[in-house]
């Protein structure tokens, strides 16, 4: 018998089975294939987590080496993709540039509509390899700067950051950026992942599923929140201005970005705690102690006034900032990192597919006649 219970936003509804990840709020743990995501972020790198998501186990040394080499082989992006991005309007949002580039990239895959596991593994690797190149250069192309090619001598995360900033990062910067990518890599069933598997359930191609995810992640209530957080911090300017700034916004009943989460409603986002420590370490080396103080003060005010905890975006934004990442790239980088989880979910959907077809609670009129 059908359950006709309606829950706005599907809140609390179990929509899918997955072996990939689970948000165990009671124990404040993000489970990734059986591992604690925060522990993974402190002990292994992003590529190892990506491999774990795709294969089901952490790579051996040989598997890691092979995986890295395969990704490097897929990094060469067709020049036509750069030309397409360069033809977009001057006011284009970089998520729209990414969405267009990803859609165009699909046309270069000769086995676009082949769904066997070997081909979807190849497509997954190709997308993991290509996303950093496209994301980083979307910013350069929009700002009429030269494209920066991948550096095969650097690790995945170091290469990604170098393509963004134009300079080779130091070990502290690489570690902070790699942790950012890792904590963004997978998070159970947010809107963008749900969008991707709904598309995949029709047996549409993997690129199309990720194009839908880009459109979802662009929204400020999802991926775009990190950009809004940094703009808010820059408007505050000093730790002394944090409380009056937030008080004014709260008095006008405006939403404060970076706080609250549909799942973490009464507990802290574990990823935010890790990024808070990462920010503290970067500040100790790079300066900008006032930025850390502002964040801590804002956290205190929101906890006292609204009972809200910071989510990942709140502390990820200033970490990006101290890594010299342009604000326009915060959300596209989120997507590049989440590509690991997205392609793993799409492959899982193909392997155990059932078309999504929910029903509605009709609230309109009946019995009308022309």
Residue identified by tokens 């507990």 is: 267
End-to-end CA distance of the chain: 35
The CA-atom distances, in angstroms, between 85 and each of 78, 89, 151, 159, 213 are 12, 9, 22, 21, 19
- How would you class 359 by CB atoms within 10 Å of its CB: exposed for 0-12, middle for 13-18, buried for 19 or more? exposed
Q: Collect contacts of 118-125 with beta carbons under 8 A, ≥24 apart.
A: 120/206, 120/343, 120/346, 120/347, 120/350, 121/54, 121/347, 123/206, 123/207, 123/343, 124/54, 124/206, 124/343, 124/344, 124/347, 125/67, 125/70, 125/71, 125/74
Is 91 part of the annotated catalytic residue set? no
Q: Of the residues 93, 140, 187, 261, which is catalytic?
A: 261
Q: Of the residues 93, 205, 313, 345, which is catalytic?
A: 313
C-alpha torsion sign, points 296, 298, 299, 300: positive
CA atoms within 13 A on the CB side of 169: 27
- Helix (H) / strand (E) element for 212: namely helix 206-217
Give the angle subtended at the CA of 195 by the CAs of 193 and 197, to the nearest 5°.
70
Is 27 part of the annotated catalytic residue set? no
Structure tokens at 314: 């709140």
| Strands annotated E in the chain | 21-24, 29-32, 35-36
Q: Of the residues 36, 96, 151, 222, which is catalytic?
A: 222
Q: Is 11 helix (H, G, I), strand (E, B) or coil?
A: coil
Structure tokens at 56: 């089901």
**Can you spell out the DSSP letters for 278-343?**
HHHHHHHHH--HHHHHHHHHHHHHHHHHH---B-HHHHHHHHHHHTT--GGGHHHHHHHHHHHHHH
Structure tokens at 85: 């991005």
Q: Report, as residue numbers or ranges, the catalytic residues.
A: 222, 261, 313
């Amino acid at each position: 018998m059908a359950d006709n219970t309606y829950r706005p936003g599907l809140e609390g509804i179990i929509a899918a089975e997955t072996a990939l990840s689970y948000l165990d709020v009671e124990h404040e743990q993000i489970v990734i294939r059986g591992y604690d995501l925060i522990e993974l972020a402190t002990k292994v790198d992003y590529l190892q987590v990506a491999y774990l998501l795709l294969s089901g186990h952490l790579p051996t040394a040989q598997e890691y080496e092979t995986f890295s080499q395969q990704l490097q082989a897929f990094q060469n992006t067709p020049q036509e993709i750069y030309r397409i991005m360069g033809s977009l309007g001057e006011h284009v949002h970089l998520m729209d540039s990414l969405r267009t580039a990803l859609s165009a990239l699909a046309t270069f895959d000769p086995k676009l509509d082949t769904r066997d596991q070997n081909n979807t593994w190849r497509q997954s690797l190709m997308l993991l390899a290509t996303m950093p190149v496209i994301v980083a250069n979307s910013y350069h192309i929009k700002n009429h700067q030269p494209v920066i090619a991948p550096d095969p001598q650097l690790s995945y995360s170091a290469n990604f950051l170098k393509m963004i900033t134009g300079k080779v990062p130091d070990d502290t910067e690489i570690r902070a950026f790699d942790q950012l990518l890792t904590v963004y890599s997978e998070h159970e069933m947010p809107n963008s992942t749900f969008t991707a598997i709904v598309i995949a359930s029709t047996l549409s191609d993997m690129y199309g599923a990720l194009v839908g995810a880009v459109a979802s992640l662009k929204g400020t209530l999802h991926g775009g929140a990190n950009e809004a957080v940094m703009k808010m911090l820059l408007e505050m300017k000093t730790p002394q201005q944090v409380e009056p700034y937030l008080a004014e916004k709260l008095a006008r009943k405006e939403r404060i970005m970076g706080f609250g989460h549909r799942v973490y409603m009464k507990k802290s986002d574990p990823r935010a705690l890790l990024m808070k420590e990462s920010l503290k370490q970067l500040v100790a080396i790079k300066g900008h102690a006032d930025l850390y103080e502002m964040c801590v003060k804002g956290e205190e005010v929101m906890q006292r006034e609204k009972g809200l905890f910071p989510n990942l975006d709140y502390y990820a934004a200033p970490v990006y900032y101290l890594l010299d990442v342009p604000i326009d790239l915060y959300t596209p980088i989120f997507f590049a990192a989440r590509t690991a989880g997205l392609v793993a979910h799409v492959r899982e959907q193909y392997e155990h597919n059932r078309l999504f077809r929910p029903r509605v609670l009709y609230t309109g009129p009946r019995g009308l006649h022309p």
